[in-house]
Amino acid sequence: MLTKSRLMYLTLAVRDLVVSRRFYEDVLGLHALDPDAESVSYPIGHVILSLHRTADPALRLGDSDRSLTLTVLVDDVPAARAAIEERGARLKPTQQSPAGTMAEFYDPDGHWFSLYQASDAALSWPSARKIRMLRHDAAGPGPGDRELLYIFLYVRDLDATKDFYQGTLGLEPMEVNTCHRGMTNVPDGVVKYDAGGVLLTTHHVGEEQHAALHKVTTDGSRGLAFGFHTTDLAAATAELSARGLTGTCEPVVSRLGATVAFADPGGYRYYLCQPSAETMALPSGAAIRRILDADL
């Protein structure tokens, strides 16, 4: 069903919007759209990243959130790393795997990012088609003009996860392969779904020792939510319900549009979003149109 839509919105909770804006704009080089006292949006490739200020004490913002990784595609990890380190970022040591080169970092609220340069081997996999489509030659060495390629969600119940993403949401795997870093021994533990401008990827985590070794958690983050864009919220909600999705809320309507929330078996939060005419008239609305018009 959601093959008709695109995973377009990433909403991150932040504690101090001024501090977060300084990081995303001055350090990462992202371009702000529609800023106000409570929120700001940034196009990052073919996704809209939205920061929303929260005072909820239950959210442990500031601690490293190891439940998911937002992976930014770059052509040269050392160059991208040097560019953002010069502007004040602090990155973990660069790592190598058969999939490529990676360098991890966190934003001020503990949201986990990774710079990623695909290996020659990875460029022979089915997902290489998406990588090549998202590359653009005009990009600079920092992530400000780069693409968000992967969202890795760490999960424990692989069968329930497959049933949800493939059966309920109707997403089709672009690629299924094994883990190259030892988080799981399951041959089909990494499943990549083409969600439009990003590869939504579920990554199985094996026994407790695997989670402890890699310092990951399979509990869905409360500090981040994903939004699928839709032009007909009622029809999309009805189709998801017909496919067995339970626990959806009644639509929430604001001047920005209408949304319906739901969650996957691991607790990762999603929503369907139909933007309002007011939203589409904003600069972020123009970015949404560019993303929707992209031939991906």
With a cut of 50, say whether residue 138 has pLDDT above it.
Answer: no
Q: pLDDT at residue 2 above 90?
A: no
Q: What is the pLDDT of residue 5?
A: 84
Which of the four pLDDT bands, split at 50, 70 and 90, describes residue 137? very low
**pLDDT > 90 fraction of the chain, expressed in percent and rounded:** 71
77-101: pLDDT as tens digits: 999 999 999 999 999 999 999 999 9
Instruction: Identify the three-state secondary structure at position 138.
Output: coil
Band of residue 12 on the pLDDT scale cut at 50, 70, 90? very high
Q: In this model, does residue 249 exceed pLDDT 80?
A: no
Mean pLDDT across 36-52? 95
pLDDT value of residue 89 = 96
DSSP 130: H
- Does the structure show a pLDDT above 90 at 41? yes
Q: Which pLDDT does position 1 carry in this prediction?
A: 57
172 or 182, greater pLDDT? 172
pLDDT class of 141 with cuts at 50, 70, 90:
very low
- pLDDT of amino acid 4: 72
Percent of the chain exceeding pLDDT 70 equals 92
0.85 exceeded by pTM: yes
Which pLDDT does position 212 carry in this prediction? 62
Model pLDDT for residues 214-237, shown as the tens digit of each residue: 688 888 888 999 999 999 999 999
CA distance 23 to 233: 34
Q: Which residue has the higher pLDDT, 81 or 185?
A: 81
Q: Residue 250: what pLDDT?
A: 82
> Rounded to the nearest 10 degrees, how much is the dihedral formed by the CA atoms of 142, 295, 132, 291?
20
Confidence band of 57 (pLDDT split at 50, 70, 90): confident
Q: Supply φ then ψ for residue 78, to 5 degrees.
A: -55, -40
**Residue 144: pLDDT over 70:** no
Indicate the average pLDDT of the chain: 90
Please choose, from the candidates 206, 226, 208, 203, the residue with its C-alpha nearest in 3D space to the C-alpha of residue 97.
203
HEC sequence for 174-241: EEEECCCCCCCCCCCCEEEEECCCCEEEEEECCCHHHHHHHCCCCCCCCCEEEEEECCCHHHHHHHHH
Q: Which residue has the tokens 């660069």?
A: 94
| Res 248: pLDDT | 73
Nearest to 287 by CA among 20, 35, 44: 44
Residue that is written with structure tokens 């018009």 in the block:
293
Query: Is the pLDDT assigned to residue 3 strictly greater than 60?
Result: yes
CATH class of 2-293: alpha beta
User: What is the DSSP annotation of 29-88?
Assistant: ----BS--SSEEEEE-SSSEEEEEE---TTS-BTB--TTEEEEEE-S-HHHHHHHHHHTT
Q: Where are the domains of the chain?
A: 2-293
Calpha distance 60→206 (Å, rounded): 25
- Is residue 255 classed as helix, strand or coil in its secondary structure? coil
Is residue 136 over pLDDT 90?
no
Q: Mean of the pLDDT values across residues 255-282? A: 94
Residue 34: which pLDDT band, with cuts at 50, 70 and 90? very high
